[in-house]
Chains A and B, each alone.
Chain A
Amino acid sequence: DIQMTQSPASLSASLGETVTIECLASEDIYSNLAWYQQKPGKSPQLLIYYANSLNDGVPSRFSGSGSGTQYSLKINSLQSEDVSIYFCQQNYDSPRTFGGGTKLELK
């Protein structure tokens, strides 16, 4: 199975700040990488697919980048509603695996 390692596991940032979450795959996943946001008590929602394609309705302050085994999610100008857990996921090979999550809190 392809292992997905996210860092950091938790993150505290101030409103308006820019934050970056990293995701490392155990092998090349050829940009088949998605990012999800899970707000407390809610189901995950797709933010980004194919590493850098923004899903419909997702604010433009979210962006994704990366290739090969290294990927990142960037949130510009952090808003209060961005407090969530963020997961990366590879869709290159079965089983499709997720990272362990990054919990984003407000400072």
Chain B
Amino acid sequence: EVQLVESGGGLVQPGRSLKLSCAASGFTYSNYVMAWVRQAPTKGLEWVASISTGGGNTYYRDSVKGRFTISRDNAKNTLYLQIDSLRSEDTATYYCAKDMGEAFAYWGQGTLVTVSS
């Protein structure tokens, strides 16, 4: 059974940093592109970033380029999202997802990031 378990969220002040993690199991993690998708409270969904199987290629939405860094450790079956210079508009639940290209096939339960002073 595919499982994706996010962690690392919390309350953080504007301008600070946070690193989210996603532990994957139930599939051959190193064979799949992975992604982060976020959802602001009572809002819709927004793709944030994706990373290739080996980690050599990363892709970001424009609004997070330069502040967010997606990475992966295939030995630990873990996906990461480093978020720097946090802004209030980054407040959201962050989901990691198994990216099949044609869709995000599996999603974790999400981790809530709240940016507030």
Contact = CB atoms under 8 A, between A and B. Distances in A.
Interface of A: 32, 34, 36, 42-46, 49-50, 55, 87, 89, 91, 94-101
Interface residues of B, number: 19
Interface string B81-117: 0000000000000010000111111111110000000
A37 to B, nearest CB: 11
B32 interface: no
B103 A46 contact: yes
Contacts of B62: 95
Contact of A97 (B47, B108, B109): B47
A94 B103 contact: no
Most buried by A among B62, B103, B104, B110: B103
B44 interface: yes
* Pairs of residues from A and B, 3 with the lowest C-beta to C-beta distance, nearest first: A34-B103, A49-B103, A43-B107
Contacts of A42: 109
Interface of B: 44-47, 59, 61-62, 95, 100-110
B61 A43 contact: no
B45 A44 contact: yes
A7 to B, nearest CB: 14
A34 B109 CA distance: 20
Contact of B102 (A36, A44, A91, A100): A91
B100 A49 contact: yes
Nearest to B108: A43
